[in-house]
Amino acid sequence: MDLHYIDGSPFARMARVLILEHGLRADLHEITAFPPPEDHLALNPLGHVPVLADGGESFFPTSIVLDVILSKARPGVVAAAVGWAGTERQDAQLLAVILTMGDALVAHHYALWAGVGPVGVDRLGFDPAARNMRRVRTTLDWLEERIGPEGFHPGIISVQDVALACLILWTESRGEIAWRGRPGIEAMVSRLEGRPAFLATVPRPHRLNESGALRPEAPGAT
Ligand SMILES: N[C@@H](CCC(=O)N[C@@H](CS)C(=O)NCC(=O)O)C(=O)O
């Protein structure tokens, strides 16, 4: 299988961590432009990473990429698949909520980096970037109520743990948010961040230029 990724992408990092944790063979293709170039749209019409190409098919978005990777992993190793016995719907909801929160998080940061501001009369009545950050905070509270002392599933490192840790660690390197003060999430992130699969996928620093555009020489800038 072939994984197309950007170094800084927290969504792509989830896939890279799962591949490493499970010792799966994959050819990694780093995209150094941001946003990904035009020809990437042939792989994913949404223009996003990660994309997993396997058996002539192109898999996206992230939830599907993670599902395909986990379907190739031996059960019982590190990150269990969605579908813990009897809690399939809750597992699926947890992962979907974490990934949707990730969308809000990156949309918030992109809006700031792009210097987006009012260009006309506000007929909506709220600031979309601020609303996205509020969504992130309330979702972190919701997740904190559901995480246990051993993460989202006792006894294993779950895909939900991996997904949330990748998003939190992205904010640590790309623009901090007030995520601390939630002991369950803090404990989970500190347990995972030192694992070899996480250390091997730490995002390189990125730089924004003065005009707000990402520097072309900043590979994997998200
Ligand atoms: N909901 C998407 C999120 C993926 C995403 O936002 N990827 C970012 C990098 S972190 C991206 O590729 N952005 C390129 C763009 O916005 O055109 C998914 O699950 O695949």
> How far, in Å, is the centroid of ligand 1 from the Cα of 217?
20
**CA of residue 48 to ligand 1 center, whole Å:** 4
Residue 209 lies in a domain: no
Give the CATH number, domain containing residue 118: 1.20.1050.10
Q: Which atom of ligand 1 is nearest to the CA of 62?
A: 19
Position 33 in a domain: no
3-state SS string for the chain: CEEEECCCCHHHHHHHHHHHHCCCCCEEEECCCCCCCHHHHHCCCCCCCCEEEECCEEECCHHHHHHHHHHHCCCCCCEECCCCCCCHHHHHHHHHHHHHHHHHHHHHHHHHHCCCCCCCCCCCCCCHHHHHHHHHHHHHHHHHHHCECCECCCCCEEHHHHHHHHHHHHHHHHCCCCCCCCHHHHHHHHHHHCCHHHHCCCCCCCCECCCCCECCCCCCCC
The model carries a pTM of: 0.93
Tens-level pLDDT at each residue, the chain (222 residues): 999 999 999 999 999 999 999 999 999 999 999 999 999 999 999 999 999 999 999 999 999 999 999 989 876 555 555 555 567 888 889 999 999 999 999 999 999 999 988 899 999 999 999 999 999 999 999 999 999 999 998 888 899 999 999 999 999 999 999 999 999 999 999 999 999 999 999 999 887 766 545 544 444 456
How many distinct structural domains can be found in the chain? 1
* Structural domain range at position 191: 79-195
Residue 89 belongs to some domain of the structure: yes
**Which atom of ligand 1 sits closest to the CA of residue 10?**
10
Residue nearest to atom 12 of ligand 1 (CA): 48
Q: Is residue 9 part of a domain?
A: no
